[in-house]
Structure 1
Amino acid sequence: MPPQIAPLTSLRFFAAILVVVHHAMDYSSAPIHLEMIRKGGVAVDFFFILSGYILTHVYAPRAYQREGFVRNFIVARFAKIYPIHIFTLLLLLFFVIASKTVGISVNEDRFTASAFFAHIALLTAWGVTDQMTWNFPAWSISAEFTAYLLFPVLVLIPFKRSARKALCLLALCWLVFGSWFHLATRTIDFGVARIIPEFLGGMLLYSAMSTTKSAPYAEAQFLVASVLIILGLIFGVSEVWFPLAFGWIIAVAPSLQGPLGRILSHRILVNLGEESYSLYMIHIFIFTIIYGALRTKHLSVLASAPHVCDLLAIAAAIFAARLSHRMIEIPAQNWIRDRLSTKTSASRLAAQKALG
């Protein structure tokens, strides 16, 4: 992994943890609910912006000079998001069937057949349901895939010369219309309207920063942006401001060279960042199992130490994410790419020579 991308990969883990803790408080019986935890869902905006930034970094140079670019891009993104999405959905389906079999009641409104198929079709960010269902964080995956479908068109726009001006205009429009239409809080209620400007913002951000060798005083900028994000979470600042701060973080993180850069480039954090998608997708299933078990009479004694239970649930989610990343996400991703990607002329020629 290029050193300049490693800090961004590590930051994905911290964003995922913020979302995980935010959701843990929905299940927890702990009496202390901090405002910064209540607003933890804004970390999804970090992923949306980073996605546009990273995809532009990887694919924009000579995108359409690569044979079969559009097909291979869509296949690669589908292979990235879909296997662990379906795996987690099937785990929840098994949980629902097993619960009903042994006579344990489940939330019928959450686990409906129509919502299940909406998840399979990646439609949950399109307003097809009126409440959170099944693996509800997957609404963002629905939104992400929409952005992926638009990327091959957006990447053709010549951003380079006017990227900074376009980015400033987009930020201004976001503050005005984002507040007006409550874009920063949309999820199942047309969350696609939330991701499109943020994903485009990530693309513009990369185009704007690619002409700069490194951000000046990157460590100081990173610390200031981080403090502003934390203060914004603590004091309940409007969600519409967080994408601007996340964009600032993403812009300067690749330029970190000092102690912060070395910490965020450490292999342990980078590995956790690479596993963050699995963590994001599987944690609701783990919480459903663990917190459900804590309500039984055999384990109800643990309810007297809710914070301990919360820590155990979060640790279990991280452990499950490590397993699913290695055993499901990566193998399935490679399998799909190998079978569905269009092979280039060079690779086909090599294959023909290998077959004699």
Structure 2
Amino acid sequence: MQQANPPPKRFYSLDALRGIAALCVVFWHWQHFFFAGTTAGKFDLERLPFSDGLSLLYTQGWLAVDLFFSLSGFIFYWLYSKKIAQGEISSGQFSLLRFSRLYPLHLASLLMVAIGQLWVSHARGEYFVYPYNDVKHFLLNLLFTSSWGFEQGYSFNAPIWSVSVEVLLYIIFFSCCRLLPVRALILAAISIIGFQLIQDYYQPIGRGLGSFFLGGLIFIAYQTVLKSKHSVLLSKLVIFIMLFAWAITITALLKKIDFNSLTIFYFPLPHMMLELIYSWPVVVLFPLSILSLALLETQHGPLAKRIAFLGDISYSSYLLHFPLQLLFSMLLTYFSYDQAIYYSPWLMLLFFALLITISFISFRYFEMPAQKRLRQLNIAGSNVAKSPI
């Protein structure tokens, strides 16, 4: 039987998907402009820019963060699990890899928001959107622990919460790779524990743990398909199931089905079935999409290469969109515009154009040079200096 090709050196399609997910979060956060200080304001969903085609992003865009976590799990198990298990990458080298990539922009954006919030507080008597901008929460942000359970709520550049959770996940990931075999059963158990934490303990860490290790499980599934004698046939089957799952989802969305009102032989759907329906994107659509794209790119070569740059700047666009929102709010308030201006499609297009441009400049002329210099501190770590992320 014909077998699939070996894994590519870069998954362009997954990079593009990560970039698109970052922009989905920006759509979700467009509601920030309708806040009254730190209190969520009311807005007309149908009047929001391009709402006819993008209303789902305004209401469900937050799910893109779970996609981030799953993508990270897949990529990290692909790039690092074997090297960590074999001792080729030390804990110090791995820490430097992540610190050099994440911290420079995090620190810069934290300082930008801190200064902006001080100005807003002085001018308006209250902060913009996120209320906890005190010394304690500044230190938590500074240490990347703003979403480890020590916080009172969202603070400063609050979208960083998911990166804060990822930092904790990196520690768990490294420990698991070094101490435990990379097995589907182990990753599935950790993922289930994580998803259970969402309900029982602490949602941010639960979401991260569940989706990150689900991403690792997707990588094991990817490897299993490639090693099979029937890899091409299995790949086609996975892609078919993915398309079928999306077709069901789109049909349900178009028909605006209320799952709470559905019945089986006149009995309401069981609670567990409702939970599965509402977690469908996280546990079904996202994993199938990641696996399908990885298999497609392995078989047919680079996919979405032209928009893969969105993945390069995804961290920038994710961290810089709230500082840019803060700046827009300050300027438009200064020029006495009311909140109705945020219904303008032209303003949104201007915002996204600026965000993508600033993110590209940040990535190329700030983040990458800072990353290179920090990694040069590890003189003996050639693997660190050449690592792609």
TM-score by shorter chain over 0.5: yes
Alpha-carbon distance in 2 for matches of 1:49, 1:210? 16
C-alpha change, 1:136 and 1:171, in structure 2 (3 Å) is closer
Per-residue deviation at 1:227?
4.6
| Corresponding residue number in structure 2 for 1:289 | 327
1:15 aligns with 2:21: yes
Counterparts of 2:249 and 2:107, CA distance in 1:
33
Distance (whole Å) between structure 1 residues aligned to residue 359 and residue 120 of structure 2: 23
Which stretches in structure 1 are left out of the alignment for 5+ residues? 348-356
Deviation at 1:321, TM superposition (A): 1.2
Q: Residues of 2 paired with 1:107 and 1:56: CA distance? A: 40
The CA RMSD measured in Å over matched residues stands at 3.4
User: After the TM superposition, which residues 58-69 of structure 1 pair with which residues of structure 2 at under 5 Å, given as runs?
Assistant: 58-67=79-88, 69=90
How far apart are the structure 1 equivalents of 2:210 and 2:239?
Answer: 27
Matched-pair contact (CA < 8 Å) for 2:15–2:308: yes
User: Are the counterparts in 1 of residues 27 and 61 from structure 2 also a CA contact under 8 Å?
Assistant: yes
Q: Is 1:255–2:276 an aligned residue pair? A: no
Q: Are the aligned partners of 2:194 and 2:210 in contact in 1 as well (CA < 8 Å)? A: yes
Pair 1:110–1:292, CA change in 2 (3 A): farther
Summarize deviations over 1:231-281 as a string: whole Å, max 9, x none.
Answer: 67785886533221211211111112599976x4323x1111111111111
**1:145 equivalent in alignment to 2:167:** yes
> How many percent identity over aligned positions?
25
Distance in 1 of aligned mates of 2:365 and 2:74: 28
**Paired amino acid for 1:123:** T
Contact 1:143 1:195 in 2 (8 A): yes
TM-score by length of 1: 0.80
Match of 2:76 in 1: 55
Q: 1:151-187 deviations in whole A, cap 9, x for unaligned?
A: 2221132234xx2x55666676667x3674386xx3x
Partner of 1:134: 156
- Alpha carbons 1:16, 1:43 under 8 Å: kept: yes
Is the 8 Å Cα contact of residues 19 and 41 (structure 1) preserved in structure 2? yes
Give, in whole Å, the separation in 2 of the partners of 1:336 and 1:304. 40
User: 1:232 and 1:121, CA in 2 relative to 1: closer, same or farther beyond 3 A?
Assistant: farther
Pick closer, same or farther for the CA change 1:53–1:305 going to 2, 3 Å. Answer: closer
Asked if 1:343 corresponds to 2:364, the answer is no
Give distance in 2, aligned partners of 1:306 and 1:296: 18
**What corresponds to 2:368 in structure 1?**
330
Maintained 8 Å contact 1:68/1:342: no
Question: Structure 2-normalised TM-score?
Answer: 0.74
Instruction: Give the stretch that moved more between structures: 244-253 or 305-314.
Output: 305-314
Match of 1:354 in 2: none
